[in-house]
A and B are shown apart, each in its own frame.
Chain A
Amino acid sequence: MRSNPEKLILIKYGELALKKGNRERFERKLLENIREKFKGYKGLEVIKTWGRIFLRFGEENAEDIMKGLGEVFGIVGFGIAYVTEKSIEAIVKASKLLSEEAIRNGKSSFKAEVRRIDKSFPQTSYDIACAIGDHILDSFKGACRVDVHNPDWCIYVEVRERVYVYADMQRGAGGLPVGTSGKGILLLSGGIDSPVAGYMMSKRGLSLDTIYFHSPPYTSPMALEKVKKLSAILKRYNNDIKLNVVPFTAIQERIKERAKSKDVTLLMRAAMVKIADRVAKRKSYACLITGESLGQVASQTPESIRFTDNMTDLPVFRPLIGLDKEEIIAMARRIGTFETSILPYEDCCTLFAPRHPTVRPRLEDISNAYSETNLEELIQSAEMEIDTLTI
């Protein structure tokens, strides 16, 4: 045996393979997203072969790369793999390297699963598995045993043009590669829900930009900073995010001035959807995304949503609509937005929060109330003054 086998990162992607017609496009996008994600890693090489992607990481830090891979949608699993020459000695050696690590981590039982795609390879799958088993048992006497039903680790061997040997994979983020479902705009408030909604839609392949309604002096500059931070966290799961900051003070004041107190929140919400709709159309986004969860607050009832939906003819995706707050919080923690979301900078000033908000508006009444606020001119000028920040 001449040298150690080459160590690579193996990436498996699942759902893509199912969609035959789109497969190529999805694969292309996934590769593009991986390249974009790791563009700072000069020594990294992305290799695409037979339904798998390999990363040759050279001098780069494999742990950092694997952490990043966990944030790329479309990936089902990933892990370290050895690529060896086509010889039983090389296969056994790579299996031993993988087992060393498993034993170091306190694991004790194993099995080997072999796929011999290249039928010209002299040994059968069974022969290869036996050779691995014998060699490992021999090398780590007493430290491990074979268990074909419930092993602590499994050594996978694929014999192709070269031989790929790997152990168990880490779970990937799943979903579809970002961008394969087009582009959407997320209404980001700074609370717990909306970033989670954005994450969920990115998972289904939407590329995100965000929109935030800023109303100084009623909301603090710190609230804007918080939304920038949240956008930056979402960027980990997207390649690029633009944050549209809409000056909302004048609109908010007009609504407060002309509408009944109980309608203020809902009318503000409607104006936000209207502006998001305009921005989306101007920038060719296919949909709006909100963090609404049915019944959570007054503006999130079927009647209220029916009204705000009237402000746009684009689809409004509400992935959290059927989730409980606890479920949303658990997700926020997992994706890393929770700690930022709970910083104490309010996204709405108490001056505008009615004590008893409208819960089940009649469409006609609330639409009339909206018309009476006569917002069109203010919305147009707010639109002109949107500040678009690249996160």
Chain B
Amino acid sequence: MNNTYYFDWAATAIPERDIIRKTIEDYFYTFGNPSSIHDYGLRANSTLNESRESFAGLLGVSSDEVTFTSGGTESNNIVIFNLLKKLNIESILKNHPKIILSSIEHSSFDEPATTMARFGFTVERISTKKNGMFNIDEFAEKLDERTQLVSVMYVNNETGAIQPIDEASGIVQDFSRKTGRKIHFHTDAIQALGKIPVELKKLPVDSASFSAHKIGGPKGTGVLYLKNSTGVSSLFRGGSQEKGKRPGTENLPSAVAFERCLEKYAKNMRENYGIVSKVSNCLIGKIRESGIGIIIPEERIDNPSLFSPYILTVSFPPIPSEVLVRALSERGIMVSAGSACSSRNPQKRARVLRAMGITEEVAGSAVRFSFGPSTSERDIEDTFPIISETVFRLKRVAGR
């Protein structure tokens, strides 16, 4: 294998080498426990708070609204399981309070929702339109006085579809204003951070989840943005770290690295967006020209602005996704069969695509290409002949 090409950034980004190295170096100076009151502790604490300040600044929010967590999964889980603390058992069993989510949420929100249904909550999953967008009309209908929590992801991790968050959160805000009932609006913005503008101050959202390793930071680190008034905190109890919202000794070097990565991604966001759009368009163009695959959803061809260029799903029926992923991997091209978080579980695979009404065969043959700032059009030029040859060969084997 001469060259390898990494098109699986949505699973995890190529790490920001310089940032991670520098952060580790710095850590030997700031290794103290941020809760200790001696000099080392103070130094660590002030470093952590500087990172928090800076992170908040980049998101346009206040620093006490930024909680460091162990990643996107924990951030999502804190928000949903907080309802168990907020509501008492009698009221849950009597009123069956409602959680509304889109049917295309990441498994780190979808699975906890299933658990909450077992605890007595009513869980409504809003259907998804063929174009990958969640059905806002249906959502408006389902919203009622029992609703406690709404979650709609920002950018879908499989299709790249940018969900109408502003519209959805606006509907929730109107409802709250009319009824005087406060409904928590959450968004999983993991695939949006650093890639498309996430303006939390302009959006009436109460919380948002972020993950470091999707933008070149270390794994095992995330942020939960929590608007001040929400009162949300983790079910885990312990020390008073993160203002008691997320106990446990802070992962200082990772938090610092996360902030530095975001700074870099945010600074280059516009430029990167341009580059990645070209990459994405180039691949879409080649797929369409050669006719070897189906862009999912096909609507993205006419409405590219509704989709993140960083994520592109293409189906190559009848080749099973994982066969193509392995065949391309053999040729040095790394792509993914659906979300990496469920791609080892055939039953859960293609949940999102099936929710969009895509046929079993097309969904089962879908492969995700996802890009990052260092992907270039040249990469697509170099790899497309290999992709095309592999697809043709496998289709020939399949007898099509």
Segment at the A interface, from B32-40, B105-113, B155-163, B314-322? B314-322
Q: Which residue of A lies closest to B326 (CB)?
A: A217
CB contacts under 8 Å to B, within A235-259, are 253, 256-257
Q: Could you tell me if B399 and A256 are in contact, using CB atoms closer than 8 angstroms?
A: yes
How many interface residues does B have (CB within 8 Å)?
19
Q: Which residues of A contact B329 (CB under 8 A)?
A: 217
Q: Could you tell me if A217 and B399 are in contact, using CB atoms closer than 8 angstroms?
A: no
Q: Could you tell me if B323 and A349 are in contact, using CB atoms closer than 8 angstroms?
A: yes
A142 interface residue (CB < 8 Å to B): no
B357-398 vs A, CB cutoff 8 Å, 1 = contact: the mask equals: 000000000000000000000000000000000000010111
The minimal Cβ–Cβ distance linking A190 to chain B, given in whole angstroms, is 15
A344 interface residue (CB < 8 Å to B): yes
- Bound together, the chains give a CA A350 to CA B323 distance in angstroms of 10
Q: Could you tell me if A351 and B320 are in contact, using CB atoms closer than 8 angstroms?
A: yes
Task: Tell me whether A351 and B397 are in contact in the complex, defined as CB-CB below 8 angstroms, given that A217-B323, A344-B346 are known contacts.
Answer: yes
The minimal Cβ–Cβ distance linking B157 to chain A, given in whole angstroms, is 22
- Bound together, the chains give a CA A344 to CA B319 distance in angstroms of 18
B330 interface residue (CB < 8 Å to A): yes
Q: Could you tell me if A253 and B397 are in contact, using CB atoms closer than 8 angstroms?
A: yes
Task: Tell me whether A351 and B323 are in contact in the complex, defined as CB-CB below 8 angstroms, given that A217-B330, A256-B399, A257-B397 are known contacts.
Answer: yes
The minimal Cβ–Cβ distance linking A352 to chain B, given in whole angstroms, is 8
Q: Which residue of B lies closest to A343 (CB)?
A: B344
A261 interface residue (CB < 8 Å to B): yes
A312 interface residue (CB < 8 Å to B): no
- Bound together, the chains give a CA A216 to CA B326 distance in angstroms of 8
- Bound together, the chains give a CA A124 to CA B326 distance in angstroms of 76
Q: Could you tell me if B320 and A349 are in contact, using CB atoms closer than 8 angstroms?
A: yes
Q: Could you tell me if A351 and B398 are in contact, using CB atoms closer than 8 angstroms?
A: yes
Q: Which residues of B contact A261 (CB under 8 A)?
A: 399
A340 interface residue (CB < 8 Å to B): no
A218 interface residue (CB < 8 Å to B): yes
Q: Could you tell me if A220 and B326 are in contact, using CB atoms closer than 8 angstroms?
A: yes
B320-354 vs A, CB cutoff 8 Å, 1 = contact: the mask equals: 10111111011000000000000011100000000
- Bound together, the chains give a CA A220 to CA B330 distance in angstroms of 12
- Bound together, the chains give a CA A217 to CA B330 distance in angstroms of 8
Q: Which residue of B lies closest to A249 (CB)?
A: B397
- Bound together, the chains give a CA A220 to CA B397 distance in angstroms of 17
- Bound together, the chains give a CA A253 to CA B326 distance in angstroms of 16
Q: Could you tell me if B322 and A220 are in contact, using CB atoms closer than 8 angstroms?
A: yes
Q: Could you tell me if A351 and B326 are in contact, using CB atoms closer than 8 angstroms?
A: no
Q: Which residue of A lies closest to B395 (CB)?
A: A351
The minimal Cβ–Cβ distance linking B48 to chain A, given in whole angstroms, is 40
CB contacts under 8 Å to B, within A338-391, are 344, 349-351
CB contacts under 8 Å to B, within A209-225, are 216-218, 220-221
Q: Could you tell me if B319 and A351 are in contact, using CB atoms closer than 8 angstroms?
A: yes
Q: Which residues of A contact B394 (CB under 8 A)?
A: 351
Q: Which residues of B contact A220 (CB under 8 A)?
A: 322, 326
- Bound together, the chains give a CA A218 to CA B330 distance in angstroms of 12
Q: Could you tell me if B330 and A216 are in contact, using CB atoms closer than 8 angstroms?
A: yes
Interface centre among B322, B325, B345, B399 (most CB of A within 10 A): B322
Q: Which residue of A lies closest to B327 (CB)?
A: A217
Q: Which residue of A lies closest to B319 (CB)?
A: A351
Choose among B320, B324, B327 the residue that contacts A350 (Cβ–Cβ < 8 A): B320
Q: Which residue of A lies closest to B390 (CB)?
A: A217
Q: Could you tell me if B346 and A256 are in contact, using CB atoms closer than 8 angstroms?
A: no
Choose among B318, B345, B396, B399 the residue that contacts A344 (Cβ–Cβ < 8 A): B345
Q: Could you tell me if B323 and A218 are in contact, using CB atoms closer than 8 angstroms?
A: yes
Q: Which residues of A contact B399 (CB under 8 A)?
A: 256, 261
Q: Which residues of A contact B326 (CB under 8 A)?
A: 216-217, 220-221
Give B residues with C-beta under 8 Å from A: 318-320, 322-327, 329-330, 344-346, 394, 396-399
Known: A216-B326, A349-B323, A351-B320. 13 other contacts (CB 8 A): A217-B326, A217-B329, A218-B323, A220-B322, A220-B326, A256-B399, A257-B396, A257-B397, A344-B346, A349-B320, A350-B320, A351-B318, A351-B394
Q: List 23 A-B contacts (CB under 8 A).
A: A216-B330, A217-B323, A217-B324, A217-B325, A217-B326, A217-B329, A217-B330, A220-B322, A220-B326, A221-B326, A253-B397, A256-B397, A257-B396, A344-B344, A344-B345, A349-B323, A350-B320, A351-B318, A351-B319, A351-B320, A351-B323, A351-B397, A351-B398
